[in-house]
Structure 1
């Protein structure tokens, strides 16, 4: 059984997509980041970076004690190895998947996240910051569009690289991007959007949280964290 500590964010969606695709048994444990539940000691023991998602595998392959993991990319790799799905074992094919997974973790996610912050959530509009991150998001969409020119999925076959990237493309309108400018990316996006497992993952999110994660009450919790804040917990 996989215990999934989750909230309805792009990084959270990555893991529900994988679990729905594979049918691996899991228990969903919502962590309401708007209410500060990510700072509870029991969650920090699993996810010291106070971010979702995190998992506990109560039945690891070695038969030992439960294994806990944080960081969505590490979780995807672990679950793919556990199930033998969506991550090839052939060294060349695996390398293709892993480099694009790291591309998402180090580029698409962080840059789109900053886009979200300055476009939607910052208390004041900062034109330089907005332009910087909207343009960088556009560049990254271009990278992905070029990659998808001659293949149906990012690493050839459908993989954890696709699962990692897709949730960060879903809010493209809020990122001030136009998918019509990226026809290969648009084709890929629509193909994934129609997958039953992805439909189930997003329907699940809608049942858990139908209100915006960021509101006036949660803004301070989400955007004013410091090291000192963590030390108090």
Structure 2
């Protein structure tokens, strides 16, 4: 199966290892992965800041960087949700309407694609420890995935996934929210990390690197004995000769 991969700008610049692990994971699942090096951003930062004209320019480039007739997979529920939902505001009844709809129907967040399209949940990963899964707001409320990441994590050898208090609570990043409301944002990150530590978790795992950066910032500042990991990095943990 041919799959085009969309690596969000955030992952490209800050977590490139997650991008490479996403490719490894899809290849292990039997996909022929294609990466277009001309790709950039989906336009979400501009869109949420209210700059819709600028977001549309970036979105138009996205639509032209990817195919209409091929699966597109991304290790970000946030960016995928932007394309599936936000692009309705930008391209409905425009000259790109049909192309946009085709791409919207073909793009998937990584865990959704693995579980619901490929029908695979075991990849031979091993990670010893206890973890909590953080439901990113965009993943839970916009893209609407909940069970898929948990099904994948349940198959990771040595990993115990437990629930924490306020499981679906916001981490406080929210793009410009963390900049405009720094104090509130930091307090929300603190609450999320402390809830994870209360159940003695070694890891906080999520589908979205923006959430993980927010939480890891609090962890690093206070030198806490817990780590954040993207689900793609977890699902490729413990592989030999990779």
Q: TM (normalized to structure 2)?
A: 0.40
Q: For CA contacts below 8 A with separation 6 or more, give which structure has more relative contact order.
A: 1
Q: TM (normalized to structure 1)?
A: 0.41
